[in-house]
Amino acid sequence: MDSFTQRRRRDLILAAALAAIAACVPLFVKDVYVQNIMVLTLMYAALSQAWNILGGYCGQISLGHALYFGLGAYTTALLFTKFGVLPWFGMLGGGIISALIALALGYPTFRLRGHYFVIATIVIAEIGFLLFHNWDYAGAALGIDIPVRGDSWAKFQFTRSKLPFYYFALVFCCVAWFITWWLEDSKWGFWWRAVKDNPDAAESLGVVVFNSKMGAAAVSAFLTAIGGAFYAQFVSYIDPESVMTFQFSLLMALPAVLGGIGTLWGPVLGAVILIPMTELTRSFIGGSGRGVDLILYGAVIVVISLARPDGLIGLFSRRPASKGVPQ
Amino acid sequence: MLSVREATTAYQGLVAISDVTIDVAKGEIVAVCGSNGAGKSTLIKTIAGAERPRSGTVTFDGEQINGVPQHLITARGIAYVPENRRLFPRLSVEDNLRLGSYMYRGKPDRDEPLKLVFDLFPRLSERLEQRAETLSGGEQQMLAISRALMTRPRLLMLDEPSQGIMPKLVDEIFQAVIKIRDAGMTVLIVEQRMAEVLEIADRAYILQTGRVQMQGKASEIATNPDVRKAYLGL
């Protein structure tokens, strides 16, 4: 069992090295537009990592994570604008609310299997979107403008520079990665993979399938809401269209699928490829080309699922397990 | 150790076993035989908690366990290897084994059961990195048994361990069952291949259409003329 421990240590060292490089990048890249893309890339890497816990490790494909993202964004924005609560507490509150809602929704939906579960997540997120769209207290369709109170870490507002957001996103990404790394070797990580691979066999070994799914959903939703809260501070204006649409659910799932679903490095690799590509196509083709990025996702997914169902990470795989499969 | 009293289990009204009473004492190998559809698998699932009996009781170490959730039954020391092995095909052999050691509560103790597993099936130790789906049928069965052993059970239940396996490996698996018993465990084995299983079992029950038709010492059942005629084709 040494190779496994060695691999985990190597992953940890690689992550530390990559984080250190990422921390130095802003010293050389001063362009605000590029910095913006880097912030989004890190954010989606972290969000996809969060999605991967439920969708990748536990095998419960959710296409409704925009709900938790939106809840995080709205909780932070509402608490700040209505009650003057600092965004840090809003972030934590949003995470807890999202985790609780994930548990409440998981209670009925985790009894569904396969495609029915996926459809349920889409529908529930859509209901959330409509509720916020019509909820006057939360600004309904107009959304919430987060008032500028001057640059400070306490209020988590920075108007002059994107760098504080960049470093927060980097830390968020590292934390999400580290949590995944840690869970991967915990009994929860094993339960999740068991539930994904063969729920009946898992039950015969004494794994409580339902509880395992609930645990994965709570962790995943909590982290996703942190991302939503961060995003609200980053763009300083939110409405249902900008934080709760189906596109966010897709953007959280796709990097993991592209990079390698249910793998430690898949979400990061996928986000590093997909998010800059999305942003660049958007700005080159402009406002009128809305949808070209979506066509691109579609094409990427088709190619990946045909050529590399394990994701791009399969190209770097050192494990003999993935090759030489007979039949 | 284990006692099933007049258990009746039904699937949507269809009775699979009715009034089945069996006993397993500590340190025994007990075989449950019978043809297809006799209710053998249902009996083992009823004990494991995967199915609930409509009436009757299952007691383990003097405590009633029918109605107890499946994961808590595992925690009490009953391991169950389902029919058709039910491995985690895309996980490595090592991960499959590790999964066995993550019980619902408590810290996993891997070293001791792992030693037994490698002792029983040395070939598994050479294939730790391989995905479970790349193993041969016999090796998969060995892995399924090993994974159950990782839960450190006191009672091991096997459902048709010989299914879909070449004869040479069947023998190896039955020899392993004897070693498992010698290591201090009790084994309940459900098997269609009566001639072979009666050679290793201490006692046996024969089920027919959901009822216990015959019971006794394995050696006596194996020599019973009616059994030889009906089941062994002699």
Q: ipTM of the predicted structure?
A: 0.73
The pLDDT-based confidence of A325 (bands split at 50, 70, 90) is very low
Cβ atoms of A253 and A63 closer than 8 Å: yes
Q: What is the pLDDT of residues B123-142, one digit of tens each?
A: 999 999 899 999 988 899 99
Residue A73's nearest CA partner among A53, A46, A101, A93 is A93
CATH for the stretch A8-319: 1.10.3470
Which pLDDT does position A290 carry in this prediction?
64
Cβ atoms of A295 and A307 closer than 8 Å: no
Distance CA B143, CA A57 (A): 22
Q: What is the pLDDT of residues A133-172, one digit of tens each?
A: 889 888 888 888 888 877 888 888 887 888 899 999 999 9
Residue A191's nearest CA partner among B149, B100, B124 is B100
Residue A319 scores a pLDDT above 60: no
Cβ atoms of A264 and A184 closer than 8 Å: yes
Distance CA B224, CA B149 (A): 34
Q: Per the CATH hierarchy, to which homologous superfamily does domain B2-88+153-230 belong?
A: P-loop containing nucleotide triphosphate hydrolases (3.40.50.300)
Distance CA A203, CA B147 (A): 13
Which pLDDT does position A49 carry in this prediction?
97
Contact A190/B75, CB-based, under 8 Å? Answer: no
DSSP-derived secondary structure letter, A185: T
Interacting residues of B225 by C-beta distance below 8 A, sequence separation 6+ = none
Task: Report chain B's terminal Cα–Cα distance, integer Å.
Answer: 35
Q: What is the pLDDT of residues A24-81, one digit of tens each?
A: 998 888 888 899 999 999 999 999 999 999 999 999 999 999 999 999 999 999 999 8
Contact A203/B87, CB-based, under 8 Å? Answer: no
For residue B86, give the nearest of A4, A198, A325 by CB distance. Answer: A198
Sheet containing strand B2-11, strands side by side = B14-24, B2-11, B55-60, B63-64
Residue B145's nearest CA partner among B182, B184, B110, B187 is B187
Substitution target in B65, B70, B135 with the highest count of A β-carbons within 10 Å is B70
Which pLDDT does position A152 carry in this prediction?
82
Distance CA A152, CA A154 (A): 5
Q: In the Cβ-directed half-sphere of A318, how many Cα atoms lie within 13 Å?
A: 7
Which pLDDT does position B163 carry in this prediction?
86
Contact B104/A207, CB-based, under 8 Å? Answer: yes
Phi, psi dihedrals of residue A262, rounded to the nearest 5°: 70, 20
Task: Report, as an integer, the average pLDDT of B151-167.
Answer: 90
Which of these ranges, A45-49, A108-112, A214-218, has the smallest mean pLDDT? A108-112
| Residue extents of the structural domains in chain B | 2-88+153-230
Residues of A in contact with B81 (CB under 8 A): 204
Tokens read off for B209: 């259409």
The pLDDT-based confidence of B35 (bands split at 50, 70, 90) is confident
Tokens read off for A195: 């539930």
Which of these ranges, A301-315, B49-63, B185-199, has the smallest mean pLDDT? A301-315
DSSP-derived secondary structure letter, A112: S
Residue A1 scores a pLDDT above 60: no
Residue bearing the bigger pLDDT, A317 or B198 = B198
Contact A204/B100, CB-based, under 8 Å? Answer: no
Which pLDDT does position A324 carry in this prediction?
36
Chain B touched by A206 (CB under 8 Å): yes
Amino acid of residue B25:
A
Which pLDDT does position A322 carry in this prediction?
39
